[in-house]
């Protein structure tokens, strides 16, 4: 694994999950493993969990984390080859990424999609430019199309709460939102859940089909009630339309997950990556009740990042 950007294979993923669970029991067991190393965490977009959990993970391994909020503190970057830079951009990505590569042993990048240029987003253009020009291992802190550290934390959480059920029914349900939201979390959750061999049902209104690259092998069901029947894990997430790229086609409040929606899934645990819009995507009663795993997922973000950084320190 040269970079951590996606699900690679079940064997590696299980290894990362097992290591993460070992770190959860004893976070500082490898506290000197990364002595003298630095990780640069570069954010082109806002973050709470990813920013803090990655720093904690690095610190637990003795790696020094340095965060650059590129969107607020860095120069405006030019991403395109051959541009005459006589407009707003100040520094070319090939110069900035090369400098960052020379400062750090590992880079970690967050670069959201534009949601206006489907071709560029599908090809993860901005994230790819950092990978291309930094010359260092790069960890995705969420790119245009994937959020692998979130998905690793989600699979850790499913494994922790799945002890009595070796073949859980996992459902990914679309939820309403007022903003156009990227596809990365939904794509990655599908990719990792299917990759780990779980059965996955995806439910969404017509027009919200995800990129088939990520959903091959999943059952697609546009009737949410039917999809939720007997679910063991329900992952709630909004995403904008992929086919009508970046558009909001529905804000139908009946898609918000409530206790009533789960009347035929009495044992279902409910997941969300956070931040969540309460009483729009998910009801208070669920988020504040016993079904919710959202805080567990957020805690597991530390150990997911720690296992990935540790893996890079071994390479």
Applying CB under 6 A, which of residues 5, 13, 50, 240 lies at the interface with ligand CP?
50
Q: Which is nearer to ligand CP, 49 or 146 (CB)?
A: 49
Q: How far is the CB of 210 from ligand CP (least distance, A)?
A: 18
Cα 119 off chain centre by? 20
Return the residues of window 133-162 that contact ligand CP according to CB under 6 A: 142, 150
E strand or H helix at 130: helix 125-134
Query: Does residue 49 touch ligand CP according to CB under 6 A?
Result: yes
Q: Which is nearer to ligand CP, 126 or 265 (CB)?
A: 126
Residues 270-289, mask of contacts with ligand CP (x by CB under 6 A): ---xxx--------------
**Cα 311 from Cα 15, distance rounded (Å):** 10
**Cα 181 from Cα 247, distance rounded (Å):** 9
Q: Which is nearer to ligand CP, 200 or 273 (CB)?
A: 273
Query: Does residue 238 touch ligand CP according to CB under 6 A?
Result: no
Residue 23, classed as helix, strand or coil, is helix
Query: Does residue 56 touch ligand CP according to CB under 6 A?
Result: no
CB 303 within 8 A of CB 57: yes
- Which position's Cβ is nearest ligand CP? 50
Q: Which is nearer to ligand CP, 50 or 240 (CB)?
A: 50
**Cα 269 from Cα 233, distance rounded (Å):** 5
**Cα 194 from Cα 144, distance rounded (Å):** 20
Query: Does residue 48 touch ligand CP according to CB under 6 A?
Result: yes
Q: Which is nearer to ligand CP, 77 or 305 (CB)?
A: 305
Site size for ligand CP (CB under 6 A): 9
Applying CB under 6 A, which of residues 5, 13, 47, 155 lies at the interface with ligand CP?
47
Q: How far is the CB of 301 from ligand CP (least distance, A)?
A: 7
Minimal CA–CA distance to 238: which of 271, 281, 206? Answer: 281
Instruction: Enumerate the H helices of 179-281 as residue ranges.
Output: 184-195, 212-215, 224-228
> Residue-wise over 56-84: b if at least 16 C-beta within 10 A, else e?
bbbbbbbbbbebbbbeeebeebbbeeeee
Site residues (vs ligand CP, CB under 6 A): 47-50, 142, 150, 273-275
């Amino acid at each position: 694994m040269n970079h951590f950007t996606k699900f690679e294979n079940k064997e590696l993923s299980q290894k990362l999950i097992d290591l993460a669970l070992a770190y959860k029991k004893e976070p500082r067991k490898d506290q000197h493993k990364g002595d003298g190393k630095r990780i640069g965490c570069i954010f082109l977009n806002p973050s709470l969990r990813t920013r803090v959990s990655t720093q904690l993970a690095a610190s637990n391994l003795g790696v020094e984390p340095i965060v650059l909020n590129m969107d607020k503190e860095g120069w405006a970057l030019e991403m395109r080859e051959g541009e005459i830079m006589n407009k707003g951009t100040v520094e070319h990505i090939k110069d900035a990424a090369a400098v960052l590569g020379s400062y750090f042993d590992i880079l970690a990048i967050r670069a959201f999609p534009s949601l206006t240029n489907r071709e560029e987003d599908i090809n993860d253009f901005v994230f790819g430019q950092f990978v291309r020009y930094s010359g260092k291992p790069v960890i995705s802190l969420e790119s245009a199309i994937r959020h692998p550290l979130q998905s690793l934390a989600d699979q850790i959480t499913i494994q922790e709460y799945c002890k009595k059920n070796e073949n859980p029914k996992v459902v990914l349900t679309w939820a309403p939102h007022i903003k156009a939201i990227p596809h990365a979390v939904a794509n990655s959750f599908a990719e990792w859940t299917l990759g780990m061999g779980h059965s996955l049902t995806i439910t969404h209104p017509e027009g919200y089909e995800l990129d088939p690259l990520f959903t091959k092998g999943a059952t697609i069901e546009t009737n949410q009630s039917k999809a939720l029947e007997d679910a063991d894990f329900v992952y709630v997430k909004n995403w904008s339309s992929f086919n009508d790229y970046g558009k909001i086609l529905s804000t139908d409040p009946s898609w918000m997950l409530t206790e009533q929606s789960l009347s035929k899934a009495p044992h279902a645990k409910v997941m969300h990556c956070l931040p969540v819009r309460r009483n729009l995507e998910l009801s208070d009663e669920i988020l504040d009740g016993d079904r919710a795993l959202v805080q567990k997922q957020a805690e597991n973000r530390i150990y997911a990042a720690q296992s990935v950084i540790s893996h890079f320190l071994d390479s």
